[in-house]
Amino acid sequence: MTEVNRKIYVIGINSYKFEDLSFKLQNLFLETENIAVPNSYFEEIKSWSENGLLNKKSFFSSKSNNELVNWLRSQKNDVILISRGDPLWFGIGRILLENFSKDELSFYPSNTCIQLAFSKLKIPWQDTVNVSIHGRDSTKLIEALKVRPSSLAIITEANNKSLELIKKNLSQLNLIDYYDFWLCEEIGFDNENIRKLNLKESLPSDISSLNIVVLTKTKKNYSNSNLPLFGISDHIFKTFDDRPNLLTKREIRVQILADLELPKNGVIWDIGAGCGSIGLEALKLRPNLDLFCIDKRFGSKALILENSKRLGVKPKFIFEEDINNIFKKRILSSFEKPNRLIIGGCDKKTKLQIISKLAQGMDNGDIVVIPIIDIQTIKELKEELEDKNFKTNLNLIQTYKSLSIAEGMRLEPNNPVFLLKGKK
C-alpha cells in the first residue's frame, strides 16, 4: 500500500452527546475537519458542529461500503470515522484493515452494545456466545443455538426482519421455552429501552432499528402435567451446558423407544444413560417398569434425578459408576436381569463385554437396542448378539430439521445414527 502521512481515527461511541467523549477525543474532534458518520445517526453527530464547535466541519454520510473506502482514500488530511461501540468487534474495523495499512489507522473503542446490555440486565457475560447476523447469514446463529449456551448475544439487522428470523429459529429448534428473549433498543442513547418479549405473541410494532437481542437461559419450574405422552422435547431435559451430547436427541430417542417394544412390566437397563432421557421417557410410558440407569460421568446421577422430577418418574437404581467396575465388584445375580437393554455411550470393547455378561441370561422376547455412530463397530456387535441367539436388524436414522434463513428455508441435517436391535 502507498505510504501516507494522514491518519484515520476510528472512534467508537455509545452516546450522541459530545460531552460523553473523553477530553482527548473531544480535542481530536475539534482539530479534525473531515468526519465520516454512519447515515443512521448522521444528523445527531452533525449537530455537534452546529452547537458551538468553532471549526467548520465537512461531514460524509457513510454506508460502510466501497464509497466510504474511496472517500477515505481521497482525503489528504487526517479524518475521523465515527463508529458504534468497538470498531474491531463485528464492526467497520475489519474492512478498514483490509484496505488501509495499520500505520494509517488508530482505533478508539467504546463499550460494545453487548457489554452495555449485560450491565443493564445485571447479568455476568464472560461465558456469553456472541453472534452477528447483521449483513451475514444465520449459519453461525443456528450453530450457536444448537449448543444451547447459557446466554447468547445477537447483533441484528436494522430492518428488524432478523428478529422474526431469530424467533423462527428458536421455535424450529424447540427453544422458545428454553430462553428469555431480551430486546435491547438504542443501548446507551437517550431512548434506550430494554424489554423481555413473549415469543408466543407477535413482535411489537414499535421496535427501534438500533437493537440487539440477548437470550438468557430461563429459570423455570418444569411441570410434568403439560408433557406429551411420547416424544418429549429436548429442552425439557437438564444437561450440562458444556456437554450437550449427554442427551439423545428426540428424533433418535423416539425410534429407540419404539424399537424397545416396551412391556407393561419388567426391567429395563439404560447403560451410558447420560442425562437419562431414554430410560426416563420409557418409564413415563410404562410406569410399572423397573429402571436401572448406569453412567460413569461425574454428576450424571444428579442430572438423572433432576430429569426424573421433571418427568414425574422414579428410577429404581441410579449408578454413577463405570459398568466395567460394576461387573468386577458386584454380584450380577443380585440384580434383576434386564428384559430391555439399551447400550450407549461406551467404546466397542465395553459394548461387547456388556452383551457377553448380560445378553446370555435374557429370555425369549427380550430386546437389546444399541445406538451406534461408529460404523466400524457394527459387524462385531451384530455377530456377538447373533451368537447369543438374538435376531438382529439395523436401521440408519438420518433426520433433517427445517430452519429459516434470510432467503427462506433450508434443511439442516442431524448426525446420522445406526440403531442395532436384537430380539431374542
Residues 254 and 403 grouped into a single domain: yes
Which among 157, 190, 217 is the end of a domain?
A: 217
Which among 51, 82, 110 is the end of a domain?
A: 110
**One-character DSSP codes across 350-399:** HHHHHHHHHGGGPPTT-EEEEEES-GGGHHHHHHHHHHTT-EEEEEEE--
> What's 334's domain CATH number?
3.40.50.150
Alpha carbon of residue 205 to chain centroid:
27
For residue 19, pLDDT beyond 60: yes
User: pLDDT category, 157, cuts 50, 70, 90?
Assistant: confident
106, 63, 140, 12 alpha-carbon torsion, rounded to 10°? 30
Which residues constitute the domain of residue 265? 225-423
Residues 251 and 148 grouped into a single domain: no
Q: How far are the Cα atoms of 6, 32, 39, 47, 261 from residue 56, in angstroms, in the given order?
A: 19, 9, 20, 12, 82
Q: What pLDDT digit, counting tens, does each position of 194-222 carry?
A: 999 998 888 888 898 889 999 998 877 66
| Pairing mode, strands 34-38 and 58-62 | parallel
In this prediction, what percent of the chain has a pLDDT beyond 70?
A: 94
Has residue 393 been placed in a domain? yes
Strand positions, DSSP E, 74-197: 79-84, 105-108, 129-132, 151-155, 179-185, 193-197
Has residue 2 been placed in a domain? no
Angstrom distance (rounded) from CA 72 to CA 82: 13
Say if CB 355 and CB 326 are below 8 A apart.
no
> What's 205's domain CATH number?
3.30.950.10
Residues 60 and 175 grouped into a single domain: no
Has residue 362 been placed in a domain? yes
Residues 72 and 213 grouped into a single domain: no
61-82: b (≥16 Cβ within 10 Å) or e: ebebeeebeebbeebeebbbbb
For residue 190, pLDDT beyond 50: yes
Residue 200, classed as helix, strand or coil, is: coil
pLDDT for the residue 273: 93
Has residue 132 been placed in a domain? yes
Give the predicted TM-score (pTM) of the model: 0.66
Q: Which residues pair with 268 in a beta bridge?
A: 291, 340
Residues 258 and 367 grouped into a single domain: yes
Residues 131 and 54 grouped into a single domain: no
Which among 82, 110, 138 is the end of a domain?
A: 110
For residue 102, pLDDT beyond 70: yes
Has residue 30 been placed in a domain? yes
pLDDT for the residue 38: 87
Say if CB 119 and CB 110 are below 8 A apart.
no
User: pLDDT category, 48, cuts 50, 70, 90?
Assistant: confident
pLDDT for the residue 260: 97
What is the domain count for the chain? 3
pLDDT for the residue 2: 52
More confident residue, 408 or 141: 141
Has residue 239 been placed in a domain? yes
Say if CB 194 and CB 20 are below 8 A apart.
no
Residues 355 and 262 grouped into a single domain: yes
Has residue 346 been placed in a domain? yes
Q: What is the mean pLDDT of the chain?
A: 88
Residue entry with cell 410399572? 288
Residues 339 and 269 grouped into a single domain: yes
Q: How far are the Cα atoms of 76, 77, 92 from residue 103, in angstroms, in the given order?
A: 15, 15, 17
pLDDT for the residue 258: 96
Average pLDDT over residues 248-253: 92
Intra-chain end-to-end CA distance of the chain, in Å:
75
pLDDT for the residue 1: 46
Residues 159 and 33 grouped into a single domain: no
Least confident of 9-23, 222-236, 380-394, 409-423: 222-236
Residues 200 and 317 grouped into a single domain: no
Average pLDDT over residues 48-52: 69
User: pLDDT category, 402, cuts 50, 70, 90?
Assistant: confident
> What's 62's domain CATH number?
3.40.1010.10
Has residue 337 been placed in a domain? yes
Say if CB 346 and CB 400 are below 8 A apart.
no
DSSP 248: P
Residues 75 and 131 grouped into a single domain: no
For residue 320, pLDDT beyond 90: yes
Average pLDDT over residues 78-102: 91
108-145: b (≥16 Cβ within 10 Å) or e: bbbbbbbbbbbeebeeebeebbbbbbeeeebeebbebb
pLDDT for the residue 335: 76
pLDDT for the residue 244: 60
Residues 45 and 83 grouped into a single domain: yes
Angstrom distance (rounded) from CA 283 to CA 272: 16
